[in-house]
Amino acid sequence: MQRYVECIALCAHFGTLRGIDLFGAAGTRSVSRPRSARLRYPGCYSTVMGLPPPANAAPPPIGRLIFCVGGIICSFGFYGFLLESLTLGGRRISELALLTINCALCAVIARVAMATQGETPKRVPKKYFVAIAVSYLASMFLSWRALRFVNYPTQILAKSAKAIPIMAMNFVFGKRYTVSQYASVMLIVGGTCVFMLYKPGKGGGAGATTAVGAVLLVLSLLCDGTTGALEDKVLAVLGWKHGEGTFDLMYNINLYAAPLAFTGLVASGGVGSLFGMSMAEATSATLLGLAVGIGQLFIFYTIANFGALVCSIITTSRKVLQIVFSVIWFGHPIAAAQLGGLGLAISGLVLNVYAKKK
């Protein structure tokens, strides 16, 4: 646990350093920052570690790649570990209270990134961000609520199928995909269903609680598809290219999502769960929000430096490692049929990366 906390502290230090150009690596271009304002030394690894960069030389690519891999795995790995610790055994948490803190912290981190990047807020009609914030918030709430009924490895596998609603919506509008892409989705869905349906020692068959969890996860996936479609719509309306206004989008979505979550908390009569948190609960909620926000920064930095494919490989590997860690650390019993389903789902994740490479 101490190592995880130290890693998060390091990531937080990275996110608040002034003058670091998150997209300023060699071969990339900062969107709204003039070239003269970019760092003389584009690599940030030695800067984050508190060491001066070597004269006229950026850190070697392998060092930057290790930095990206470590940042994504540590930040999102810590997020998953903490979330599972809070919800283990169907333990009930106040999802809206955690989401209020989570979204507020993500908004702050995105705003710091905007200042660091030199990205100025753009004037965008509020209705766009409010619509995205609602679907984004609903997706998070439903996936966290599902943890009352299914374990965390099941949630990871199910959420890996978020491409389904996106592909379905794009199919309606005439977009077609490769056979490999369709096959990868089928493997993920089939493997997840097998994993959820079979229980150790019971010979299969899903209970009522598992069914409720499955419904919540499906609804969450639909919200993910809506969020992606709305974001694409905003980019098209504003004329932004992919990558432009990234932190602006992250900032505004969370800026509206935080008060929406708090409003839902007040309406449900659960505001006491927010202000009545113990020190341990408040610390966990804060670390959860920091892990998500900082993890997003590492994803953006990885895409800018190495491309979407490398980032996809890293995040896919992180999911696999997270499942294995969860099963071992938290002692989840696994039936033989579930291992088969897990293998199918992981094969689908790997095939998805291969399909993107092609």
Task: Please give the pLDDT value at position 59.
Answer: 45
pLDDT tens digits, one per residue of 204-222: 444 555 788 889 998 998 8
Let me know if 310 is exposed, middle or buried by CB neighbors in 10 A (0-12, 13-18, 19+). middle
Task: Please give the pLDDT value at position 136.
Answer: 92
- Residues 226/135, Cβ–Cβ less than 8 Å: yes
Task: Please give the pLDDT value at position 271.
Answer: 83
Listed as ranges, residues in the chain with pLDDT below 50 are 1-57, 59-60, 203-206
Helix (H) or strand (E) holding 19: none
Pair of tokens at residue 299: 């994803």
Q: How far apart are the first and last CA of the chain?
A: 39
Question: What total number of domains does the chain contain?
Answer: 1
- Residues 154/330, Cβ–Cβ less than 8 Å: no
Q: Please count the CA atoms within 13 angstroms of the CA of 356 that sit on its side-chain side.
A: 15
- Residues 43/64, Cβ–Cβ less than 8 Å: yes
Task: Please give the pLDDT value at position 138.
Answer: 95
pLDDT tens digits, one per residue of 44-77: 333 333 334 444 445 447 888 899 999 999 999 9
* Range of the structural domain that residue 219 is part of: 2-357
Task: Please give the pLDDT value at position 100.
Answer: 94
The one-letter amino acid code at 338 reads Q
pLDDT tens digits, one per residue of 7-48: 444 344 333 333 333 333 333 333 343 333 333 333 333 333
> What's the rounded Cα separation, in Å, for the pair 111 and 323?
32
Task: Please give the pLDDT value at position 276.
Answer: 80
Distance of CA 248 to the CA centre of its chain: 17
- Residues 183/351, Cβ–Cβ less than 8 Å: yes
> What's the rounded Cα separation, in Å, for the pair 47 and 5?
20
Task: Please give the pLDDT value at position 264.
Answer: 92
Q: What is the pTM of this model?
A: 0.71
Place of tokens 């008060």: 259
Contacts of residue 124, Cβ cutoff 8 Å, sequence gap at least 6: 234, 238, 248, 252
Helix axes 126-146, 95-117, angle to 10 degrees: 130
Phi, psi of 113 (to 5 degrees): -65, -40
Task: Please give the pLDDT value at position 42.
Answer: 37
Task: Please give the pLDDT value at position 15.
Answer: 38
> To 5 degrees, how large is the angle CA 341–CA 347–CA 349?
110
The one-letter amino acid code at 249 reads L
Average pLDDT, the chain: 75
